[in-house]
Amino acid sequence: MAALGRKRFDNKFKFFCGATLISEDAVLTAAHCVKDQQLDIVRLGEHDLSSDNDGANPIDFEVKEVLIHPDYLPPSLQNDIAIVKLSKRVSLTSKVKPACLPSPSTSFPSQAAVTVVGWGALGFGDRSASTLQEVTVPMWINERCQNAYQKLGESFKVIYPNGLPDTVLCAGTEGKDACQGDSGGPLLFRSGTGTRHQKYLLVGVVSGGSQCGLANSPGIYTKVDQFLRWIADTL
C-alpha cells in the first residue's frame, strides 16, 4: 500500500490518494488522482500517517514520471488508471513488496468477497483516517450496478456516458465502502486455499461512487485485468 502526497506550505506532506506497488520502481493508482495534480512523493510502508512512533518505518520516494492512460478523458471516469514511476528502486521486504496482478482469465465467484484498503474518510464528509483501514465487501455484477446508478440520472451519464463499461467493477454494501481519500488504492481478492497457497490479487483501483456506504450505491473500481497489456507496455 502506498500513499500519494504533496508538499504543503509548511514543508509537511498532505496525503490525498492511495496507490499500490506493482514493481520495484512503480505504483498503480487512479488517473483522477494525478491528472493536473501536484504530486511530490510516494510513501511506502506506512501505517499511521500522523505518527512517527508506530513502528512502521515508512520510506518516501520522489516521483520520476506520471503516466496516465491515454484514453482517460475527464470528467468521465472511464480508463481511470495511471502509473507513477519512482525516482529509485524500492528495497523489497516482507512488509514492502509488489502486489500480485491478476491474469486475464481470472474469474470470481458470485458476490465474491474483496477487500479495499486506504486512509480515506470513515464516512461521507468526514476527515480522512490517520491509520490504515481495510474493509471486506461483496462484489456486484455490473448489470445490477448499472441499474442502481442509472437512478442518479444526468450525474451518472457525465461520468459514464455510455453506461458502465467492462473495464470497471463494483463492490460494496451498506455502511462498508471506499470513501474520499481512498481513490487510487487497491481492491484485493484472496485467491487459493490453505495458508501457504493463498495470495492477494490486485483486482481493482478505487475510482468513484456515490457518497460512501449507501445501500444501493456500491463503490466503482477500475478493473485491473482489463489493463494488463497497457501496464506491461508502460512499465
Here the CATH number for the domain that contains residue 37 is 2.40.10.10
**Catalytic residue of the set 128, 177, 182, 183:** 183
**CA 45/CA 23 separation, integer angstroms:** 15
Domain endpoint, select from 69, 86, 103 = 86
Predicted local distance difference test score (pLDDT) of residue 8 = 87
Q: How many domains does the chain have?
A: 2
Query: Strand, coil or helix: what is 206?
Result: strand
On whether both 128 and 182 belong to a single domain, the answer is yes
Residue 231 lies in a domain: no
Indicate the pLDDT class of residue 195, thresholds 50, 70 and 90. low
Angstrom distances, CA of residue 28 to CA of 15, 31, 146: 16, 9, 25
Residue 102 lies in a domain: no
Asked whether 17 and 38 are in contact (CB, 8 A), the reply is no
Domain span at residue 194? Answer: 113-225
**CA 108/CA 59 separation, integer angstroms:** 34
183 is catalytic: yes
C-alpha cell of residue 83: 502509473
**Catalytic residue of the set 69, 80, 207, 225:** 80
36 is catalytic: no
Residue 232 lies in a domain: no
110 is catalytic: no
- pTM to 2 decimal places: 0.93
Domain endpoint, select from 51, 67, 86 = 86
On whether both 117 and 197 belong to a single domain, the answer is yes
Span 28-65, pLDDT tens digits: 999 999 999 999 999 999 998 888 888 788 899 999 99
